[in-house]
Structure 1
Amino acid sequence: MVIPINRLLAGYRSYKALYHEKRAELTQRLADEGQRPAILVIACSDSRVDPAILFNADPGEIFVVRNVAALVPPYEPDGSHHGTSSAIEYAVKDLKVEEIIVLGHHKCGGIQAMRSIVSGEVEDNHEFVGTWMNLARDACELHGADDPNSGASVEMATIKLSVKNLKSFPWIQSRIDEGKLRVHGWWFDISNGELYGHDPRTGQFSVVEKLAPVGASE
């Protein structure tokens, strides 16, 4: 049996030999010039969905913020600790990203936990997760948390809610109005590898290849 930490160390050695040294020009440029990603991806912490792998992205190409269920809280500058909001602010104000993608996914554990709590199936015994997942409570209640087939619907509704919350940040909405920023809601199906995007014209999610060419924010 491979000890997990040894698996990581072996992976690092492989990365250094097969990737870092062969792409020395790219890695050195990133070290010297810093990062200039054009895209912010707000993704779930779930180990099965890694945005860099999903989009075959190079280092420095996307700025990734990950949290439980890929949630975006509403704009609340109240002096508290706002990890997700601070990362979004840095990406928009300092990195000046041109695209923001909220990336939810199939079988999200955070969404499943909230559905179980809302339906009364389990009692919330977390110190932090329950409060965080309350951001998705309305979506769970709207789509029937006790319906075993509502998982994907709740996940997609939560993505749309996060997109809406993004626009509550005044410096995001202003850049959208100026045509400098676009916001998108995407959902990844782990089981079949399909990626779906929210179409603001229909309110539905369609496989990304069928969406209209990107030219405007949601």
Structure 2
Amino acid sequence: MVLLGTMVNGAAIIAGTLLGILLRGIPESMKNTVMHAIGLALLVLGAQMSLKTDNFLIVLLSLVIGALAGEAIKLEDKFTNAGLWLEKRVGSKEPGAIAQGFITSSLVFVVGAMAILGALDSGMKGNHDILYAKSVMDGFIAIVLTSTLGIGVLFSAIPILLYQGAIALFATQITRLVPDAIMDAMITELTAAGGIMILGIGLNLLGITRIKIANLLPGLVAAAAMTAALQVW
């Protein structure tokens, strides 16, 4: 089943969120320390990923193009509005809490090599091992994020199902469209661009910056397109 890994990933996030709700009573100072720990860990992960590039110019240009496209279509605002819409339906007592949890967790779970590689493996080979491993990681991250950001983390399962599911379905046909060498190069630059975005998420969680990471997401598409064009050329 092509979508099995993605479905398990979504279920793990939901389960982690439900467990995290039980930990919401921990002291505020502890929540802040935990959030800072996550931020520091994301800085390390993002740095490791970003250094894997074979062509930093592609990564730089993809981020610039992504920023221009994201700002033009106001992608961050769309994420925020979706979170606020969910907030109204759920009836949160803390204004903006669900939106913040939804946006932050969605970006953490979506931006990364495992999401792309795992979904590609599911579609091309029917192998869900990468997404199973990602599910375990995301489940634990969801527990911690929920304990600090609240129930909004639960709704991040929706973009995960849509994003990874779409890649997995596309991957069933990708071997006929994209040669292995081009695919490997695309994944390398996607990983590097995603790593810089994860660095930004970490800085935001630490309260150092307020970067609109969602507006950079089109950069992933730009990185893939430029890498493919360069390989063909």
Q: TM tier, shorter chain?
A: under 0.3
Question: When the two structures are superposed, what TM-score results if normalisation uses the length of structure 1?
Answer: 0.26
**TM-score, structure 2 as length reference:** 0.24
Which has the greater radius of gyration? 1
More strand per residue: 1
Q: Which has the higher contact order (CA 8 A, sep 6+)?
A: 2
Higher helix proportion (structure 1 or 2)? 2
